[in-house]
Amino acid sequence: MNERLFQDCIDAFTIDRAALAHIAAAFRRDIDLGLDDPGASSLRLLKSYADLPDGDETGEFLALDFGGTNVRAVRIALLGNGRYETRAKAAKPLRAPGAYDLTAADACAEALFDFLARLIGEVAAPGQSCLLGHTFSFPSVQSNLYDARLVSWTKEFATPGVEGEIVNDLLTCALRRCGLSGIRPVAVINDTVATLLAAAYQTPDTRIGSICGTGHNTAYLEPHCGRALPRMILNLESGGFDRLAPNRWDTRLDAQSARPGQQRLEKMVAGRYLGALFSHALTDALELSAPPRCTTEDLSAILADNSPRLEATAALLRRSAPSLSAEAVVWSKALAETIAVRAARLTAATYAGILWHLDDAHVAPQQIAVDGTLYEKLPLYKEALRQALCEILGPEADRARVALVKDGSALGAAVAAAVAARA
């Protein structure tokens, strides 16, 4: 084992306080630029046509959460005063290895949307007429709350026939084909917007919603969207931020991805990619002939392994490198930690950039709502994110409470449907 190689890898994934502050400032500048001239920014700042809810929205709604590994359909009653009740739910994976894969290039839009419609059918009361909110977690351009048109797939989705289409039109047709024409999709929102709506429904001082899961992205409430436009939530598509200094493993991963050059931040911080990044770095650190194929779940298991002799980590890594020494196992764990911590630090820098954009030097007391498996479950992640915010913002960081808001996608979709019904 060559310690030097490991140390080089670890150094290349380490981001110090000065670099963090630099990234936060660049992120803020990209928001400012994008508001004036969308072409000048690497952020998309997509309009959601949604404002924050009052918290007193009521009624029963259907919600569809489509955007990651699993699709969920939920029947939710909003009870007002930030309260709600989940009345039915169903979830299914979009890929079942060996059986089907609705996200692949050889799948088709009709099959995908029929699958979604049937899942909605499982939670709707028989013959029910109901409004549906749809959390669709891919970059989409809208001119109102209904008409989201998919710009391009992310997270390695490749189903043909959806890019460029109005996703709720595809869903409405599928619902009709499945005999569910009483169900009317009325609102489409991104999952970051949904997380923000869900959190704000319950905790009014929320202005930022973010997802740190399979994919990564953040939305915030922009008070000045331009002339003649009301304040509204903007979906930054922050995974596309590219004022960064990728290292050679970031570059390799990007080159081998479905869409090289796109989603550069996302490929450094999101669950879809962290395992692969670790595998690429390990290949060079251990001088292996082929990447060891570690998943993000493996990375998580390694981070959780606090046993004195790192047995779980050793067993996992020796699947690909059978003669790995005990010392190399220790170094590999340190590398895994550095990659996870970098993801959290980069994400924190983007939050600081948004806070600076909104509040300048004096951060207003507020909640930042975050959902996603990395924030919820990846060891070290939460702590590293908070630490980075403190490094960038100093004592002002205490005013920004980062909180896990679980399952905001479904509640947020129901809130959006309620807001659409009121309009």
Question: Residue 135 or residue 247: which is nearer to ligand BGC going by CB?
Answer: 135
Q: Which one of the spans 195-203, 214-222, 339-347, 385-393 is the region binding ligand BGC (CB under 6 A)?
A: 214-222
Sketch the per residue contact string, 21 through 60, with ligand BGC: x for CB under 6 A, - otherwise: ----------------------------------------
Q: What is the distance between the alpha carbons of residues 182 and 129, in angstroms, rounded to a whole number?
A: 4
Site for ligand BGC in 147-166 (CB under 6 A): 154-155
Asked whether position 209 contacts ligand BGC by CB under 6 A, the answer is: no
Question: Based on the number of CB atoms within 10 Å of its own CB, is 159 exposed (0-12), middle (13-18) or buried (19 or more)?
Answer: buried
Instruction: Decide: is 239 part of the binding site for ligand BGC (CB under 6 A).
Output: yes
DSSP state of 289: S
Between residues 67 and 82, which has the closer beta carbon with respect to ligand BGC? 67
DSSP code per residue over 153-184:
--TT---TT-TTSBHHHHHHHHHHHTT-TTEE
Residue whose C-beta lies closest to ligand BGC: 215
Q: Does residue 215 belong to the site contacting ligand BGC (CB under 6 A)?
A: yes
Cα–Cα dist 405/407, whole Å? 7
Cα–Cα distances in Å, from 278 out to 254, 264, 284, 377? 13, 16, 10, 18
Site string for ligand BGC, 218-237 (x = CB under 6 A): -------------------x
**Interacting span for ligand BGC (CB under 6 A) from 76-84, 133-141, 194-202, 410-418:** 133-141
C-beta of 156 vs 284, nearer to ligand BGC? 156
Q: Is 357 exposed, middle or buried (0-12, 13-18, 19+ CB in 10 A)?
A: middle
Q: Which is nearer to ligand BGC, 338 or 347 (CB)?
A: 347
Edge-first strand order for the sheet with 216-222 is 46-47, 232-235, 216-222, 206-212, 366-371, 400-404
Does 139 bind ligand BGC (CB under 6 A)? Our answer is yes
CB of 191 to ligand BGC, least distance (A): 5
Of the pair 190, 347, the CB lying nearest ligand BGC is at: 190
State which H helix or E strand residue 359 sits in: helix 326-359
Nearest approach in angstroms of CB 247 to ligand BGC is: 21
Cβ(51)–Cβ(232) below 8 Å: yes
266 scored as a contact of ligand BGC (CB under 6 A): yes
How many Cβ atoms are within 10 Å of 293's Cβ, its own excluded? 12
Within 177-196, which residues bind ligand BGC (CB under 6 A)?
190-192
Q: Is 67 in the site for ligand BGC (CB under 6 A)?
A: yes
Q: What residue has token string 């600081």? A: 352
| Measured CA distances, 218 to 51, 76, 301, 378 (Å) | 15, 24, 26, 19
Contact set with ligand BGC (CB under 6 A): 67-68, 137-139, 154-155, 190-192, 211, 215-217, 237, 239, 266
